[in-house]
Structure 1
Amino acid sequence: MGSGTIVEVSDLFQNQPARLSFQRRPVTEMAKIVDIVMQHALSHPNVAFSLTNSGRIVFDVPSVSEYDDRLFDVLGTQASGLIPLSVPSEDENAPGDERWTGWISSPDITRGKGDEVHLFINQRPIASQPFQGAIRRGYKTRLMQGRHPIAILSLKIPPHEVDVNVHPTKRDVRLKHSWRVLERLERAIAHTLHSVATAPDSNASSLGIESIKETKTETETETYKKPSWAITATQQLTLSGDSARSLEPEKKRPISSSPAIQKTIFGGKPIAPALSSDERDIHRYSGIESERPDSEKPLSEIINELPEMEPLAQLADSYILVQSGEELLIVDQHALHERIRYERLKEDQNQWKPQSRISSISIELNPKEMSQLQAVSSTIKSFGFDFDIDSQSMIIHSAPAILTTSSIEDFMRDLLQDLSEDNQRALSMEKIKDEMAFMRACRGAVKANDKLSIAEMRRLLEDMRCIPNPWACVHGRPTAMRLTIHSLDHHFGRHG
């Protein structure tokens, strides 16, 4: 055995016993220790690391000459979905000596939190939070809101351009040219993703939420952000290929262009913030197969004060025109069906019963995830999962019926992150139900551009009277707009 460094710690709290009261359970503290060792293992591939706990080997990786080998040793099969970071040509000879290298995941491999983003400056592990914005900008619209990639990113920079003494933990740093460093990271990620095929795999996303954006038939050209030093003062920066295209509406919809008339009918302010491009795609392409409203079990009890409503027609295969007493409702069919499905999924007890799988699902875990699982295994079993643990894997035999087989792995990784974070919020079964129903509601709802029969429209309106909050979808967007007979009379001058 080669010579090395042995660190032995004994009587840890002898001189400062007050610190003991801040310690969590041994399994929780062990998970944090594993995370620290993993960080150093990723930043020093030429060094072997071995971690044991109570005589059991928790983490053991040999020294390697190729970084690919260290990735597989630490991350396991997750490493196969990583893409080497590629730097655009204009950055090769750009001003400054900072250089980014590393690996990033394709957009279909994501996590619910940013814990799997590992950042190193001159081989020193640092906190990733200050760099998350640049990473997200590099991914642009490829990442769903609230999702985070897996990344191992290393910055080599002259030591005099980085100050590591701004925080006692040495995890936070101050960079002399932070704007330039962040720009280069953003461009490198955008360039890398632009250079490879990154179409999401519909079977790989958590609860199907990332698979709902269907691949568009036309070819879209996307450019990555050019460096600020290469842009003249009069040149406009192009962030996306979409901005260069002339956008024509699919159908010309005649409507009065008078601002006064539009303000009379629709009001002076929008009733909700505009949808982002991601959210528009979610609503337009939500779900690979939509469930027809008339094929679902009806919601029996009327619980709100909505009167009976009669569908009149469907506008642009996206909106339902409805007569309700002396009001005209314009209903967003996707938003309403999404809200109905959300309430139905939450209340349907059969969706939450454990369902045995035809064949067990094996999930390979890295050492950090395995430590987290051992710390919270009883909690996860209380959520309806039955599983065994072997040396490196979690073998799931049954899971709540609402989870599809393809979504279990990503959901479990997100759940492990939620249950292991510091000052974690209490994850009750009710909270888990709410989150799973939220994800599934959008996937199966009818989409914009889906043609509905009068019977299907009528069924949606009947169910609308049986849900507690019929006026907003699960994202908080409005499901309907109301036009009163008074506003119409006023518009057409029927009041003298």
Structure 2
Amino acid sequence: MTRHDPNIRPVIRQLDEAAANRIAAGEVVERPASAVKELVENALDAGARRIEVAIAGGGKRLIRVTDDGCGMTPADLPLALARHATSKIDGSDLLAIRSFGFRGEALPSLGAVGRLTLTSRAPGHDAAQIAVEAGRIGPVRPAAGNRGTVVELRDLFFATPARLKFLRSDRAETQAIAEVIRRLSMAEPSVAFTLSDEDAGRVLFRADAETGDDLHAARIGRVMGREFVDNAIPLDATRDGLQLTGLAALPTYSRGAAVAQHLYVNGRPVRDKLLIGALRAGYFDVLAAGRHPAAVLFLTCDPQGVDVNVHPAKAEVRFREPDAARGLVVSALRHALAGAGHRSSSTGGAATLAALRPEPQPILRPAAIHPAAIRAAWEAQAPMPGLAEAAGFAPAAARVEPEPDPTDAPLGAARAQLHENWIVAQTADGIVIVDQHAAHERLVYERLKAQAAGRIPSQALLIPEIVELGDGADRMLAVAEDLDRLGLVIEPFGPGCLAVRELPAVLGHADAAALLRDIADDLADLGRSDRLQSRIDAVLSSMACHGSVRSGRRLTGDEMNALLREMERTPRSGQCSHGRPTWVELKLADIERLFGR
């Protein structure tokens, strides 16, 4: 960066309208998907019931958004292209925002960097059209059109060609646009959405307006797939004027990346750091490292309780009571997951069936055989009395006698133990296969957590350790009471310094200085820290692993059935401490299909 000579006074200039719009476009329109988001949100604010989006060249050459909303009059069209002109708010209260858009920047920004044509008709008025190219606005002209608005954007960023170098391939940009449409469609299930690619001549996404009692669940199933809905837990919790609804997937239905997380605040799709952290905390000890939960969460509150004007693209929000919002998400998720009990995702059974399905075999045509030869072969295969016993064969002794009414229980009755690790149980309509070590590990872990529900036992240091944290010391002292409950006792020791008096006993000889610095960094970045709790839970998980039934141990029938019954009573027993399923179920009908019955 070139610094200005302090001996030469620079001249302050007023930027012209075109330059100001191009600067605004850099904030609002990052890529074609950003343009689609702004235009579709405008259509939703206009009350559209049907929105059609057409693109070409990944949105770089063409974006066309057609809606059946309230439309605009010919006199409205020039105003729609003026900066900070909007029908959404009157400017008197920026915290009472109930619409998607409100800044009045999208259309003029798009017109500054592309070729934009706006055609609209309001009830009781003739249709009209206006065009703008690289910031130069043309006159309003008569046009033909139905009620609603058609916004056509061609050659995005042609006026700022340097921006084109930062765009990705047409395929990648198309995928980003499709993701925007999917997110918005889940926010508005009563609206029909269509996305088509004019280059390929095909429809990429279509969602008709949902009907019925639960519109959101129907639309989520259409967008995320029925498999997600079948393996998700419904949420409905309220606290301090906040309401959380939606669907959260079982831990065993996790993903390798955070691609199936959709968060909404008052119907607005957001990528908010606080909410993403709360979602992660809700699945805190039920997911393995590197796995991510899948969820669609709708947080609703009074518009006065959330500020959506903290980012030009409106992708982030700021809550007036952030702890209340985070606490509601975390507690609702943990309560729902605990309420799921031993439930595990159905995908485990499907994967098991896929693994068991035999490879197709070639069809062998029998040669012509004389009937006498067939009769002789049949007679030769007839069993003789006592033949099996004489050959030394005996029935397998793997069967376990059931307890009274065993198959009425969700996990059924134990019938066998295979390879000293897998318990096979019979249910009313299928079989269940249980990983005995993983299942018992979760049970022991839950017992250890319950025992540590109060104050974590601590170990006093012979010589207190002094840790210098600078500004972080004050943040640490603000949460000293919470840290004390977890067994970490700290005291102020001069400016910017803390004295560590006690450490959690389960951590053994922990590095106190490193632990405090990590917690202080979390507090500075997120406003809170779960690091100490994570360390303690990791130790408890390790203790549970070593204290559980090991693979290779032969169990009696009573022991296996006792394990099944305890799994049914224990929260989160459907997955081990590392997020892997503890059991899978195979339905009898699916097993019969394996054998062509």
Task: Please confirm whether the aligned pair reaches a TM-score higher than 0.5, indicating the same fold.
Answer: no
Larger Rg: 2
TM-score by length of 1: 0.44
TM-score by length of 2: 0.37
